[in-house]
Amino acid sequence: MKQKETSLNTRLINGLTVEEIGDEHIGTSYETPLREDAFDLDDELKIELIQKHFKEIMQILGLDLTDDSLSGTPERVAKMYVKEVFSGLNPKNKPEVKLFDNKYDYNQMLVEKDITVFSNCEHHFVPIIGKAHVAYISSGQVIGLSKINRIVQYFAKRPQVQERLTVQIGNELKSILQTEDVAVLVDAEHLCVSSRGIQDTTSSTVTSFYSGKFDQDETRKEFLSYVYNK
Ligand SMILES: [Zn+2]
């Protein structure tokens, strides 16, 4: 067998090189793959280290870091990674959720639709942009509406694959609301598909999570009618 020319492509994933896998997006688990020591370093140290490494990437690309427009970029990127776009990796940033008694005895589904999703694809570190639609049927307690948005945002602020994002939101809501009756639909554009690679700017990816009553055709249809009938 011909030897690979570059050492960069020799790490095997499921017996394939990164080049052979290409743009196939494989997710390995519904848990975000984090190491045990993920939070041994505090945010400030992470920012300092990422800044150093990002500067190196820019230097390798040949950019002049003494240029006024570029000199602050490593620091900006490092802060943005740790404090914003990947802040959902850290469980301490998980939104605190208060539940309220379902005083109105509202026993139909509640749908929170068109929740803005900004995430990043973990295979290319470029944005995933879309909408999430979430529904649940109360088992006696209800959640403040904006908390649903916050839960979506928390899991979106990680390097993600869309399937995992969808399941993580669904499982979290099931556990918080103590109900099986939860539905999540995510419809999103992946910039790794639209801005590079195949460069398809019209396709979007839809993923869903249905549990409890939403496994039944009728309930699911009702949910989808709220989501898609504008
Ligand atoms: Zn990607």
- Give residue 168's pLDDT: 97
Round the average pLDDT of the chain to a whole number and report it: 91
Percent of the chain with pLDDT over 90: 77
pLDDT one-digit tens code per residue, 39-73: 999 999 999 999 999 999 999 999 999 999 999 99
Does the active-site annotation cover 160? no
Given 25, 75, 112, 122, the catalytic residue: 122
189 is catalytic: no
Q: Which residues contact 73 (CB under 8 A, 6 or more apart)?
A: 54, 58
Q: Compute, in angstroms, the gap from residue 172 CA to the centroid of ligand 1.
A: 24
How much is the CA Rg of the chain, to the nearest whole Å?
A: 21
* Residue 19 among the catalytic residues: no
| Residue from 51, 124, 168, 189 carrying the catalytic annotation | 124
pTM, 2 dp: 0.88
Pick the closest to residue 191 from 180, 203, 181, 175 (CA basis).
203
Cβ contact 173:151 at 8 Å: yes
Residue ranges with CB less than 5 Å from ion ligand 1: 121, 123-124, 192
Query: What angle, rounded to 10 degrees, do the helices at 145-156 and 162-177 form?
Result: 140
